[in-house]
Amino acid sequence: MDYMEEAIKEARKALKYGEVPVGAVIVKDDKIISRAYNLKERRNDVTAHAEVLAVREASKYINNWRLTGCSMYVTLEPCPMCAAAIVQSRLSKLYIGAPDIDSGACGSVINLVQNNYLNYWMDVKWQYNDDCSELLSEFFRTKRRKQ
C-alpha cells in the first residue's frame, strides 16, 4: 500500500472543508493505525493540525503515548509544534511529501527533528509527491480568488 497516497486522501478531506490541505497517517506493522487531516478552523483549535491529531489517535489506539516502531506519512513538512510532538512521541520514522519553505521545522526553516541541542533525533525520509504540493497550490489559488 502506498501510505503517502493515503495521507493525500486525508489532505483532500481538509481541502473540501476549506482547511489548509495537510493529511497524515501513522503505520505500525504494515497497518494504518491512525489517519487525520488538518481541522484547525473547523475545531477552532490551533493544535488540531493533521500530525497532532494523528499522534493522539495512534496513542489512543495502542494505549501508549510512546509510538516507537511506528511511522508517520505526512503530506507537508511539519511546523515546529508538530515536529516537536512527533519527536516527543518517539515515532520511529517520518516520511514527508513536500517541503514548507515558510514554516517547515524539518530542515526548511529550522530543524527540530534532528537537533543536537534538544537531543531530538529521528529518521526522516523525503518522499516528494507532486500531489502534496499541488493540493496546497490549489488551496491558495482558490483563497486568492475569493478575496
Known binding-site positions for Zn(2+): 49, 79, 82
In the complex, minimum distance from the CB of residue 17 to a second copy, in angstroms, rounded to a whole number: 15
Letter for the amino acid at 62? I
Q: Is 63 in the site for a second copy (CB under 8 A)?
A: yes
- For residue 56, what are the contacts with CB-CB under 8 A and spacing of at least 6? none
Q: Is 114 in the site for a second copy (CB under 8 A)?
A: no
Neighbours of 1 (CB within 10 A): 10
In the complex, minimum distance from the CB of residue 134 to a second copy, in angstroms, rounded to a whole number: 25
Report yes or no: 113 and 83 within 8 Å, Cβ to Cβ: yes
**Which of these ranges, 4-12, 20-28, 113-121, 133-141, lies near a second copy under the rule CB under 8 A?**
113-121
Strand partners, 31: 28
Q: Is 101 in the site for a second copy (CB under 8 A)?
A: no
In the complex, minimum distance from the CB of residue 44 to a second copy, in angstroms, rounded to a whole number: 5
CA Rg value for the chain:
14
C-alpha to C-alpha distance for 3 and 104, rounded to whole angstroms: 21
Number of residues that bind a second copy (CB under 8 A): 33
Q: Is 44 in the site for a second copy (CB under 8 A)?
A: yes
Say how far residue 21 (Cα) sits from the centre of its chain.
10
C-alpha to C-alpha distance for 26 and 66, rounded to whole angstroms: 13
**Which of these ranges, 7-15, 28-36, 53-61, 132-140, lies near a second copy under the rule CB under 8 A?**
53-61
Contact flags string 17-36 toward a second copy, x per CB under 8 A: --------------------
Q: Is 115 in the site for a second copy (CB under 8 A)?
A: yes
